[in-house]
Chains A and B, each alone.
Chain A
Amino acid sequence: MSRIQSTFDLLKSQQKKALVPYITAGDPHPKCTVPLMHAMVKHGADMIELGVPFSDPMADGPVIQRASERALVHKVGLRKVLEMVSEFRKSDQKTPVVLMGYANPVEAMGIQQFTQLAHQAGVDGVLTVDYPPEECSKFTTALTAAGIDSIFLLSPTTEPARTDLIVQQATGFLYYVSLKGVTGAANLDIQEVSKRVAEIKSKTNLPIGVGFGVKDAATAKSVATIADAIVVGSRMVLTIEASTEENLIDNVSKLVQELREAIDAS
């Protein structure tokens, strides 16, 4: 059983929801990433979404783009990100790690080599933002062969027929984008999200994560009433951005703990 599935199974048996914080690997500095991952787990993260820096992150808002730019200053590429996951795995064999990034770094490395190295590093799932299901069957096949889950996005504008197609190819969990726009954009409409999540649930047994608009403990709490996992990205990155080297770990830990408490109180 994959780490992602066993994590969701365990949470379900405890009637809890998964907290999935996102950070960009290498932001603000490569040496911070693995300590941040451990700190997030210690303070309540159930799974970690680790962003692969990319020069042209079109689906992300300015906050996460700045995180990519900070990481790229230190030349943090896909290979380096996989090394970070290996390092993290040395002392944490339990917490799933999902890579989120864009197609070009994967293609530059080569699909076969990437899936092999990702497997060795202990990556559990991969979300490639600009690989829609029609364009990535070779990739998902390779991921499956390496025992890695293929995570796909569903959006408010995804038509029912497409939802069927995506649900068929997705493994691990599905990631519902809670608003029209890029990461970190405006406010999410919880009623609307609730309706869409229910529709998706009628088509699949996979857990549903919700993200793109979860900006504070209050939103996290309301999203926890309808989703299996709550993904928090831009809010994490803003906290990293506002921190100094001295208080970085503390600030991020505190935020994760707040989110954890809010989710558990829902």
Chain B
Amino acid sequence: MQVYDMPDERGHFGQFGGIFVAETLVEALEELRVMYEKYRHDPEFLAEFAYDLKHFVGRPSPIYHAKRLSDKIGGAQIYLKREDLNHTGAHKVNNTIGQALLAKRMGKPRVIAETGAGQHGVATATIAARLGLECVVYMGSEDVKRQAPNVFRMKLLGATVVPVESGSKTLKDALNEAMRDWVTNISNTFYIIGTVAGPHPYPMMVRDFQAVIGVEAKRQMQEMVGRQPDAVVACVGGGSNAMGIFYPYIDVPNVRLIGVEAAGHGLETGMHAAPLTANSPVGVLHGNRTYLMQDADGNIIETHSVSAGLDYPGVGPEHAWLKDIKRAEYVAITDDEAMAAFHNLCRTEGIIPALESSHALAYAEKMAKTMSKDQIILVNLSGRGDKDINTVAKLSNITL
């Protein structure tokens, strides 16, 4: 059997990935690459990581058979990988712990992060507090307004939240600003990127830290039903929760891997965040080559999704690669479809899912209808929806 062994030593997944940064950042990335290579197989480092995942995060996260939902749909059985039950409420914390432990070993007393919905910011602030690191989080000023509870959470945890006023004032601008901070404060600062994008080694490193999701799922599925699912479904913004659950399954035959992007108001309206499904051209942004939503001049265009965590114009380079080699399939779900799936899970299973994860749920429901009752779909329920209740209330014209 051919073993999947990506990326190459400069972070290429075929034509995607790589290190596209200004010279001022090259040395910092090289330092990070060398240190990550040193620790990624180091038993002591891995033991410390595993300890925190178990005792601080509460892993392993369970797999749950959503029986009532499956019965209601009347097709394949839907199982949920419950990343929403992690400390801080989403998969993001798996990665921030890994990177913060690395920062400590590299002697960097200060960590910075970018955040969109605030989940990665909260996860970074959380581990920074636990390890006694200074923490600065960059967040677009639009997102600061939309996600006030998460901003307050970060502040409670001792982090400084810097609103970013440039560009579209959202996630990509926060990322630009964090890069600027990093390049200016390289000697004492570790930049904790929250998704499988950015220059090498970030896409690989974030994938490796998130792969715990898929590793657990493989074992749990075997224990629960004695076999692996027919399909694994996960939402894709930058793509870290999807890479985390897909990665251990890449070499497993007959398991379909399906990434669900945000179709926003609909692909045909142009107001979406689905570069893979909409066949966006290849380009270079944020340190890597990937599929990118852009205009004819190569400027990045504004994206739209009801879920801030999927509202990103690019996608992690490994997803671009998995699409090209046809190992994974990519589809898109509109705001309305995601909202319907959100309510459906609340009412039938007693679980309030994140709006991001609701995209994966919506597609799983569509798929399940076309499949038989003995087939299995595993959905990565990447986060809980408490953070989204204001958005949902507003969309339903309810004042809280």
Seen from chain A, the residues whose Cβ lies within 8 Å of a Cβ on chain B are 53-59, 61-62, 65-66, 69, 72, 75, 77-79, 102-109, 129-132, 134-135, 152-155, 157-159, 162, 166, 177, 180-182, 185-186
Give the docked Cα–Cα distance between A135 and B19 (Å): 7
Q: Determine chain B's interface SS by DSSP, over half rule.
A: mixed
State whether A59 touches B22 (Cβ < 8 A). yes
Q: Which of B18, B172, B294 contacts A108 (CB 8 A)?
A: B294
**Which of A105, A106, A108, A159 lies at the interface centre, i.e. has the most chain B CB atoms within 10 A of its CB?**
A108
Cα A129 to Cα B25 with chains together (Å): 11
B26 touches A65 (CB 8 A): no
Interface status of B162 (Cβ within 8 A of chain A): no
If the complex has contacts A102-B284, A107-B282, A185-B184, are A77 and B23 also in contact, measured as CB distance less than 8 A?
no
| B172 contacts across to A, CB distance below 8 A | 56
A75 nearest CB neighbor, chain B only: B297
Verify B20–A103 contact, CB threshold 8 A. Answer: yes
**Residues on the A chain within 8 Å of B301, using CB:** 55
- Interface membership of chain B positions 296-316, coded 1 if the CB is closer than 8 angstroms to chain A and 0 otherwise: 111111000000000000000
Partner of A69 from B28, B167, B282, B287 at Cβ < 8 Å: B167
Given A55-B299, A77-B297, A134-B10; A104-B27 close (CB under 8 Å):
no
A104-B284, A130-B20 known; A157 vs B299 contact (CB < 8 Å): no
Is A157 in contact with B297, judged by CB distance below 8 angstroms? no
Q: How far apart sit A152 and B287, CA to CA, in the bound complex (Å)? A: 17
Q: A108 contacts B298, CB within 8 Å?
A: yes
Determine if B166 is an interface residue (Cβ-Cβ < 8 Å): yes
**B97 part of interface (Cβ distance < 8 Å):** no
A235, chain B: closest CB distance, angstroms: 18
Known: A104-B292, A162-B27, A180-B186. 6 other contacts (CB 8 A): A54-B299, A65-B166, A104-B299, A157-B24, A157-B28, A182-B24
Interface pairs A-B: 9 shortest CB-CB: A77-B297, A108-B298, A105-B298, A59-B22, A157-B27, A181-B184, A55-B299, A153-B23, A103-B284
Chain A CB within 8 A of B183 CB: yes
Q: Is B21's beta carbon under 8 Å from chain A?
A: yes
A209 to chain B, nearest CB (A): 14
Can you give 26 A-B contacts (C-beta < 8 A)? Answer: A55-B167, A56-B173, A61-B180, A69-B167, A75-B297, A77-B298, A78-B297, A78-B298, A102-B284, A104-B284, A104-B285, A104-B300, A105-B297, A108-B298, A130-B20, A131-B20, A132-B19, A132-B20, A135-B20, A153-B23, A155-B22, A155-B24, A157-B28, A158-B26, A162-B26, A162-B27
Question: When A180-B183, A182-B184 are in contact, do A107 and B24 touch as well, CB less than 8 Å?
Answer: no
Question: Chain A's nearest CB lies how many Å from the CB of B320?
Answer: 14
CA distance in complex: A65, B164 (Å): 13
Give chain B nearest CB distance to A203 CB in angstroms.
15
Known: A59-B24, A132-B23. A180 touches B10 (CB 8 A): no
Contact of A181 (CB < 8 Å), options: B18, B176, B183, B294? B183
Please state if A154 and B292 are interface contacts (CB–CB under 8 Å): no
A58 surroundings in chain B (CB, below 8 A): 21-22, 176, 179-180, 286
- CB-defined contacts of A78 to chain B, threshold 8 Å: 297-298
Residues in A with CB closer than 8 Å to B20 are 103, 130-132, 135
CB under 8 Å from chain A, chain B span 189-219 = none
- Give A166 to B296 CA distance when docked, in angstroms: 31
Distance between Cα atoms of A132 and B288 in the complex (Å)? 12
In the complex with contacts A105-B298, A107-B298, A180-B184 CB distance below 8 A? yes
Q: How near does chain A come to B385, taking the closest CB pair, in angstroms?
A: 30
